[in-house]
Structure 1
Amino acid sequence: MNEKEQLKLYTEEVEKVVMSYLPAEEGHQKTVLEAMNYSVKAGGKRLRPMLMRETYRLFGGASKEIEPFMAAIEMIHTSSLIHDDLPCMDNDTLRRGMPTVWVKYGYDMAVLAGDALMIYAFETAAKSFALGADPALAGRCIGLLAEKTGIYGMIGGQTVDVELTNKPIPEDKLDFIYRLKTGALLEASMMIGAILAGASEEDIRKIEKIASAIGLAFQIQDDILDVTSSPEVLGKPVLSDEKNNKTTYVTLEGLKKAKEDVEKISGEAVEGLWALPYKNQFLETLVKMLVKRES
């Protein structure tokens, strides 16, 4: 099996896990449930749950206890996309080649769907206890998930991003935005995999550093694609950063340096994986493929 075939197989496996935890579309609140599921079912790379599972496997994990957390991290990521697309944020009408949630279900229902997915993610993560997870480790993972999602993580990064829209962003604040808005959930994904598998504190810290590098490289590549790709390939509007007057890594450093830095930072992440006492070849391959993606 070559790398692309392996990626396709693993993506399908992760997809099944995520889909299995979506709520049934029934009851008087059916509309918000449909909007939640529509956003998750729209597709995506399933990068975060895949990184979580492969890090879990890296440290010898081999149980279904990881699966509720895999679904939860994808729900949180998707909830952030629903809100990012709103008229009060990026005002995008296309996501993964489909109408964004607010376009299809209305502004009000999109806000509720984003909120609901984020809360439902924690309800889902808690199902790990019933699958035999060590209570102390699972509890720590839920706390970490909240930290990396909230004011000291993704939402903290989004706050600074929104406040500086239409304003020049200095390099230190752009770094802050990227490390929290994008990096935090990637850190949560890999750290939860390591923690739940019983990794040492030293290795958990190393994983956090590796994930932070992956997140930064991933976001810079996202900036590059926003100016070099097309809506057909990307599945969403291009030049949206320019439209929203956003400072990006490309506008600060230029396209050539941005491409060079993606290679450099992702290389540091792979070197970090090599330095660990355990090996997962697919995890290394996945990191390399992510930063060379075209969509």
Structure 2
Amino acid sequence: MTESSPALAAARDEVAAAVETMLDRLLPQPEGSTARLDEAMRYACLGGGKRFRPFLTVACGDLFGVPRPRSLRAGAAIEMLHGYSLVHDDLPCMDDDDLRRGRPTVHRAFDEATAVLAGDGLQAEAFAVLADPATHPDPGVRAELVAGLAAAAGARGMVGGQAIDLAAEVRTAAGRPLDYAEIAGLQALKTGALIRFAAEAGAVLGQALLEEKAVLRDYAAEMGLAFQIADDILDHEGTVAELGKAIGKDAGAGKATFVSLLGLEEARAKARALTTSAQARLDRFGPPAAVLQALAEFVITRRS
């Protein structure tokens, strides 16, 4: 199976549609005095996105025979958390973006205060979904999922990565941009932590062995870094039409990126090496891991 194969495309489309249905069901319906907030939360999550992280959760869950309703619920929770992060990242006090997934960002479509609250609401809903017995009947499994998402999202995960990214702007302005190791560490938190948890969540749902969880975390860690390098490449040579968001902002602000540090061709080579290593880690799972092999290839060959 390759990234461009009909089998992978069909699998991705199937999961994306199922995640959309699950999100539609789980997110609050607009009604009463919170209708505007509900609408903003749904606007942030529905009708767009690659659904990369929930697809990763479902594909890893499939390795261990996890029933799809369970992995889809976990994937939807991760997508809510991811949606919250995008809403807050786009705010004027953060990245100050006006476009996301080809349409106005939440604070532009609604207002800044509503966007903040929508992000807060999505984060809370994510944990509520994971804590619900419908996600898994074993409370120990649910607790492990909740703890894992908290770690991935918090000060030693995604939020911490964003804080480092903001501090890097000050360093860049002072003529001391981050080097490769520092950017890789930043992205391991800001982007990579949630990707690692998305893979591990499927294994947690399947009550996999510790070493199996570790293999999938390592696979996702390398794929997550390749994902960010590919993002930097797309930001360098992609278009607004392809990406559905503004391009070139980091480079325009003088911030160090993988492309600015390594050069375009070396960045491509680094992304390829990470992908090859990530794919090799899946050998222990044999043919059932073919979709995960193909997903790693998709990460560095996508155009959006």
Please tell me the residue identity of whatever aligns with 1:56.
G
Q: Is the 8 A contact 1:65 1:133 kept in 2?
A: no
Is 1:42–1:98's contact at 8 Å kept on the other side of the alignment? no
Alpha-carbon distance in structure 2 between the residues aligned to 1:201 and 1:217: 24
1:156 corresponds to which residue?
Answer: 160
1:294 Cα deviation (Å)? 0.3
**TM-score by structure 2 length?**
0.92
Residues of 2 paired with 1:147 and 1:131: CA distance?
19
Structure 2 counterpart of 1:10, one-letter code: V
| Deviation readout 1:88-116 (Å, 9 max, x if unpaired) | 11111111110011111111111111111
From 256, 263, 266, give the equivalent of 1:254: 263
Pair 1:139-2:139 in alignment? no
Alignment of 1:1-295 (within 5 A): 2-62=7-67, 64-127=69-132, 129-166=133-170, 167=172, 168-276=177-285, 279-295=288-304
Contact preservation (8 Å) 2:191, 2:228 = yes
Greater CA drift, 200-209 or 65-74: 65-74
Q: Which residue number corresponds to residue 3 of structure 2?
A: none
1:85 CA drift (Å): 0.9
SS in 1 for 2:288: coil
CA contact (8 A) 2:54 2:75 kept: yes
Structure 1 window deviating more from structure 2 (28-37 vs 240-249): it is 240-249
Local SS of the residue matching 1:199: coil
Q: Deviations over 1:30-50 (max 9, x none)?
A: 211111110111410101111
Which sections of structure 1, spanning at least 5 residues, go unmatched?
none
Residue 6 of structure 1 and its aligned partner are, at CA, apart by 3.3
Q: TM (normalized to structure 1)? A: 0.95
Aligned length: 294
Give the residue type in structure 2 aligned to 1:53.
Answer: V
- Distance in 2 between the 1:40 and 1:63 partners? 20
Deviation string, structure 1 residues 179-229 (Cα, Å, up to 9, x no partner): 011110011111011011011001111111111011100000000000100
Contact 2:12 2:55 in 1 (8 A): no
